[in-house]
C-alpha cells in the first residue's frame, strides 16, 4: 500500500471511529430510555440495565456506520482540498483514482464490518436481549421485593421492605397474608434472604414476629422467632417462552425456519423481508463513499464550491438512506419490494460511479446556490463586525 493510501485511510479511520462512537452513543441513549422501567419498576441495578441495553449496540452500529463513514470522508476529502493536497496531487500528474482507491478500500472494510454485524452479531445480540427482558419480567426479587413499596403479589398477600442491601439482604421486612379464610397473618422481621433449596424458593426471615388474627372476633396471638422460612415457590411467575421477532432470529433461522415455529408460519413475509434487508444493508457504505467522492473528489478552488459540494453529498446520502428505510417500512410479500431493497443502494453506486468515470462535477440547483451565497455573505458580515468590535476593544 502506498504512503498516500495509508495516509488517507488512517485519517478516515480516526474520524470514522470518533464519529461512530459519538453517534452510536447518542442513539443508544435514546433507545435505552425505552427500557428504563428495568430500573424503575423491575428492581434491576444500573449495571444490569446498562449490560442488558448494550446487547442492542451491534444493531445500532449497523444503522449508524454508513453515516459515520459519510461524515469521515466528507471531513477528510474537504480537508485534503482545503489544504491544497488534492491540487498538489493533480499538479504532479496524479489522477482522481489515486484518492479513490483508498476511499474504496476503507469503504469495503466498513462494508465487511456491517455485513458481519448484520448477518451474525446483531441478531445474536437482539436474541439475548429478548431473553434477558423475559427473564427480568419473571424475576421474583425484581417483581416482588422492591424497597419502599407495598407490592401485592397475589390477592391477599402483600410485601414491603425498607431497604435491600448490596448482598441481597432484605431489611425491615413486612408481609401481610390474608389468603386463609379464617385467619390473617402478619410477618415482621429485621432481615431476610431469598434462597434456593431443593428446587424450592424460600424467604428466610431472622429476628421477627408472626401475628395471627382471626377473621372473626378473637384475640391476636404473637409468636417470636429467630429464624423462619416462608415458601415462595408458588408465587414465582413462570417465564413464558419468548416469541422472537424476525430481527431477533439468526440468519440461518430466517433461511430455514422450523416447521413447528408458529411465528414463522404466520409471518413468512417478515422473515423474508428481514433476510433481504440484512444482505442489502452492507451495500450502503460503498454507496455513500462513492457519492461523497463524486462530490468532493475533484479539485476545488473556492470555499463556496466546497460548501456546496459538502451540502450536495450529505443531502444525497441522507436521501438515499431515507429511501432505503422507506422501502423497508413498506416492503411486503412481493418480488418488487424485495428487489427495491437492493436497487436503492445499487442505484447510488451506479449513478455515482457513472459520474466519477465521466469526470463530471456535481452541483446543487441554482436556487440552492443563491441561498448559500446569501448565507455566506451574512456570515462574512457578522464575522467582520465581530472582528471590528474585537479590534476596537483591544
Reduce the DSSP state of residue 335 to 3 states and report it.
Answer: helix
pLDDT in tens, 336-346: 777 888 999 99
DSSP string, 34-99: GGTHHHHTS---HHHHHHHHGGGHHHHHHHHHHHHHHHHHHHHHHHHHHTTHHHHHHHTT--THHH
pLDDT band at residue 329, thresholds of 50, 70 and 90?
confident
pLDDT mean over 350-368: 71
Query: Is 345 in the same domain as 323?
Result: yes
How high is the pLDDT of residue 394? 41
How high is the pLDDT of residue 93? 64
pLDDT above 60: residue 363: no
Query: Is 175 in the same domain as 294?
Result: no
Query: Is 12 in the same domain as 101?
Result: yes
Q: For 233, which DSSP code?
A: G
- Phi, psi dihedrals of residue 237, rounded to the nearest 5°: -65, 130
Query: Is 297 in the same domain as 371?
Result: yes
69 within some domain: yes
Q: Which of 77-86, 181-190, 277-286, 357-366 has the lowest mean pLDDT?
A: 357-366
pLDDT mean over 305-331: 82
- Per the model's pLDDT, the better-predicted residue between 125 and 45 turns out to be 125
Instruction: Give Cα 3 to chain centroid, integer Å.
Output: 36
163 within some domain: yes
CB atoms within 10 A of CB 373: 12
393 within some domain: no
pLDDT mean over 365-375: 59
pLDDT mean over 261-281: 84
Domain that holds residue 83: 3-137+243-384
How high is the pLDDT of residue 236? 59
Residue with grid cell 450536495, as numbered in its chain:
312
Closest residue by Cα to residue 209 from 181, 195, 228 = 228
pLDDT above 80: residue 296: yes
Alpha carbon distance 109, 154 (integer Å): 55
pLDDT band at residue 393, thresholds of 50, 70 and 90?
very low
Alpha carbon distance 22, 8 (integer Å): 21
Query: Is 230 in the same domain as 250?
Result: no
336 within some domain: yes
Provide, rounded to the nearest whole percent, the portion of the chain with pLDDT above 90.
20
Reduce the DSSP state of residue 283 to 3 states and report it.
Answer: helix
**Residues 33-59: b if buried by 16+ CB within 10 A, e if exposed:** eebeebeeebbbeeebbeebbebbbbb
Alpha carbon distance 147, 171 (integer Å): 9
Alpha carbon distance 80, 68 (integer Å): 18
How high is the pLDDT of residue 2? 79
Domain-terminating residue out of 218, 235, 252: 235
| Spatial contact of 50 and 132, defined as CB atoms under 8 Å apart | no
How high is the pLDDT of residue 382? 60
pLDDT mean over 312-340: 81
Q: For 282, which DSSP code?
A: T
pLDDT in tens, 129-170: 887 777 666 555 555 667 777 877 777 888 888 887 766 688
How high is the pLDDT of residue 145? 63
Query: Is 80 in the same domain as 172?
Result: no
Domain-terminating residue out of 212, 235, 258: 235
How high is the pLDDT of residue 326? 85
394 within some domain: no
Mean pLDDT computed over every residue of the chain: 79
Alpha carbon distance 227, 192 (integer Å): 9
Query: Is 168 in the same domain as 124?
Result: no
Grid cell in block for residue 381: 458580515
| Spatial contact of 69 and 48, defined as CB atoms under 8 Å apart | no
pLDDT mean over 178-205: 83
38 within some domain: yes
Provide the H-helix boundaries in the chain. Answer: 3-32, 37-40, 46-53, 57-82, 85-91, 97-116, 122-137, 140-144, 251-255, 262-266, 268-280, 283-296, 303-330, 335-358, 366-393
pLDDT above 90: residue 286: yes
Domain-terminating residue out of 219, 235, 251: 235
Query: Is 257 in the same domain as 327?
Result: yes
pLDDT band at residue 40, thresholds of 50, 70 and 90?
low
Query: Is 230 in the same domain as 247?
Result: no
pLDDT band at residue 50, thresholds of 50, 70 and 90?
confident
- Per the model's pLDDT, the better-predicted residue between 220 and 306 turns out to be 220
Give me the long-range contacts of 375-379 (CB less than 8 A, separation at least 24): 376/304, 376/307
78 within some domain: yes
> CA geometry: angle at 54 spanning 50 and 57, to 5°?
155
Residue with grid cell 450502503, as numbered in its chain:
284
Most confident of 22-31, 102-111, 214-223: 102-111
How high is the pLDDT of residue 374? 63
Query: Is 260 in the same domain as 122?
Result: yes
> CA geometry: angle at 327 spanning 352 and 242, to 5°?
130
252 within some domain: yes
pLDDT above 60: residue 64: yes
Provide the H-helix boundaries in 145-261. Answer: 251-255
Query: Is 172 in the same domain as 36?
Result: no
Closest residue by Cα to residue 108 from 376, 290, 326 = 290
What is the total count of domains within the chain? 2
Q: Which of 116-120, 130-134, 208-212, 379-383 has the lowest mean pLDDT?
A: 379-383
Query: Is 225 in the same domain as 272?
Result: no
Reduce the DSSP state of residue 123 to 3 states and report it.
Answer: helix
pLDDT mean over 225-232: 86
How high is the pLDDT of residue 282? 93
How high is the pLDDT of residue 137? 60
Amino acid at each position: 500500500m502506498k504512503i498516500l493510501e495509508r495516509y488517507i485511510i488512517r485519517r478516515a479511520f480516526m474520524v470514522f471511529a470518533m464519529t461512530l462512537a459519538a453517534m452510536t452513543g447518542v442513539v443508544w441513549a435514546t433507545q435505552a430510555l425505552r427500557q428504563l422501567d428495568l430500573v424503575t419498576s423491575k428492581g434491576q441495578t444500573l449495571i444490569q440495565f446498562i449490560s442488558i441495553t448494550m446487547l442492542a449496540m451491534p444493531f445500532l452500529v449497523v444503522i449508524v456506520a454508513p453515516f459515520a463513514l459519510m461524515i469521515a470522508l466528507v471531513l477528510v476529502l474537504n480537508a485534503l482540498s482545503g489544504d491544497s493536497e488534492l491540487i498538489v496531487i493533480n499538479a504532479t500528474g496524479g489522477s482522481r483514482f489515486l484518492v479513490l482507491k483508498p476511499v474504496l478500500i476503507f469503504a469495503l472494510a466498513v462494508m465487511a464490518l456491517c455485513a458481519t454485524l448484520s448477518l451474525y452479531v446483531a441478531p445474536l445480540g437482539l436474541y439475548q436481549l429478548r431473553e434477558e427482558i423475559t427473564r427480568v419480567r419473571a424475576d421474583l426479587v425484581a417483581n416482588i421485593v422492591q424497597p419502599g413499596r407495598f407490592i401485592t403479589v397475589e390477592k391477599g398477600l402483600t410485601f414491603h421492605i425498607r431497604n435491600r442491601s448490596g448482598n441481597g439482604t432484605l431489611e425491615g421486612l413486612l408481609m401481610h397474608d390474608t389468603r386463609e379464610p379464617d385467619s390473617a397473618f402478619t410477618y415482621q422481621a429485621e432481615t431476610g434472604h431469598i434462597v434456593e433449596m431443593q428446587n424450592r424458593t424460600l424467604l428466610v426471615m431472622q429476628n421477627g414476629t408472626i401475628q395471627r388474627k382471626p377473621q372473626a372476633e378473637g384475640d391476636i396471638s404473637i409468636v417470636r422467632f429467630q429464624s423462619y422460612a416462608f415458601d415462595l415457590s408458588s408465587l414465582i411467575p413462570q417465564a413464558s417462552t419468548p416469541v422472537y421477532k424476525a430481527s431477533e432470529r439468526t440468519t440461518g433461522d430466517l433461511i430455514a425456519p422450523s416447521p413447528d415455529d408458529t411465528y414463522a408460519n404466520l409471518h413468512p413475509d417478515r422473515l423474508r423481508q428481514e433476510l433481504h434487508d440484512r444482505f442489502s444493508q452492507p451495500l450502503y457504505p460503498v454507496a455513500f463513499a462513492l457519492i461523497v467522492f463524486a462530490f468532493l473528489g475533484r479539485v476545488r478552488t473556492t470555499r463556496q464550491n466546497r460548501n456546496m459540494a459538502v451540502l450536495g453529498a450529505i443531502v444525497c446520502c441522507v436521501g438515499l438512506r431515507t429511501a432505503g428505510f422507506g422501502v423497508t417500512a413498506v416492503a411486503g410479500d412481493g418480488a418488487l419490494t424485495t428487489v427495491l431493497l437492493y436497487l436503492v443502494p445499487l442505484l447510488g453506486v451506479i449513478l455515482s460511479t457513472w459520474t466519477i468515470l465521466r469526470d463530471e462535477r456535481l452541483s446543487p440547483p441554482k436556487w440552492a446556490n443563491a441561498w448559500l451565497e446569501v448565507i455566506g455573505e451574512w456570515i462574512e458580515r457578522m464575522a467582520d463586525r465581530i472582528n471590528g468590535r474585537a479590534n476596537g476593544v483591544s
